[in-house]
Structure 1
Amino acid sequence: MQKKIFTFPQAVQKLEYYCSYQERCHNEVVDKLKTLAMSSQEIDEVIAHLIQNNFLNEERFACSFARGKHNIKHWGKVRIINELKFRNITKYNIEKALKEIPQETYLHNFHALTEKHWESIRETNLNKKKKKFCDFLLRKGFESSLIFEKLKDLEITD
């Protein structure tokens, strides 16, 4: 089966649609263009067009990503930062994105998640239960200081 060859206007149209239904970072757009067998010069031109016409905005992507991952998947700041770095988002945009999550919302979601998870762990050995609890929250990307502070609170109430 032969790969379909796209003309420049077709590729632009396809990528405009690709960027319009979901925020994208530059890496995702470049990867998509590579699957369309575009040359590096054409890739640069398409990206320039997308930026000029506000289809592609890395700051907007970072803010949307941070809000969504925290509110929907309940990720902590550490995981959000690492995921954004993985996507080559600048330090400035990462800092701006983290400001999208109000501290009181962050802490409220953290406490709600921790209490729900603590109750859901069916481990009788307290040390194993603590380890499972900490591992889960570290994977979610919450700060270790927050986790250990919450663990102390939960131990006192148990």
Structure 2
Amino acid sequence: MTDSVKDALRKAAMFCAYQERTQQEVRDRLNGWGVYVDDAEEVIAELIQQNYLNEERFAKSFAGGKFRVKGWGRRKIKQQLQQRGISGYNLDQAMKEIAPDDYRETLADLLAKKRQSLRDDNPLVVKQKLVRYALSKGYESELIFTVLNGEE
């Protein structure tokens, strides 16, 4: 390993220690630092071996965090993970971080909070706005209608 690769490894380790990262994020950062293909893959392999880089851990923390903090639904979380290059087993593990009971409860809470902010007397307009809001958060339409019809 050359000195420049060792330096890149040290910087990349600090980059990964700050927060969970994907391999693609690290690869992009290495490219920005002028570390290309073979050297970059060597650095990434070393980061994985030293457990600085773990895509399953990233996917789980991302999914759990976006659900708990931002109230995102499974569809939006899954789409964001796929855009970050997470797929297959890691994606499945991330989705398991969201408990079904908590998921439904979070959706009900989001809809109740949103309903408070809506200033419209027409129940159909209110329902339409609530559905659109929940869809934009990444929730499944069947669940949205189930929760809305259960509340009314």
TM-score (norm 2): 0.92
Equivalent residue, structure 1, for 2:19: 22
Give the deviation of 1:32 after TM superposition: 0.7
Equivalent residue, structure 2, for 1:11: 8
AA paired with 2:103?
Answer: Y
The answer on whether the counterparts of 2:107 and 2:144 sit within 8 Å (CA) in structure 1 is no
> 1:125-148, CA deviations, whole angstroms, 9 ceiling, x for partnerless residues?
433322221111111101100111
Mean alpha-carbon deviation: is it higher for 40-49 or for 127-136?
127-136
Equivalent residue, structure 1, for 2:127: 130
Structure 1 vs Structure 2: percent identity of aligned residues?
41
Counterpart Cα distance in 2 of 1:134 and 1:118: 11
How many residues were matched structurally? 150
- Of the three residues 106, 113, 116, the one matched with 2:113 is 116
The two structures, once aligned, show a CA RMSD in angstroms of 1.5
1:147 counterpart = 2:134? no
**Structure 2, unaligned runs of 5 or more:** none
Give the deviation of 1:151 after TM superposition: 2.4
> 1:40-70, CA deviations, whole angstroms, 9 ceiling, x for partnerless residues?
1111011001001000001000001010000
TM-score (norm 1): 0.89
Equivalent residue, structure 1, for 2:88: 91
Counterpart Cα distance in 1 of 2:119 and 2:48: 50
AA paired with 1:132?
Answer: K
AA paired with 1:126?
Answer: P
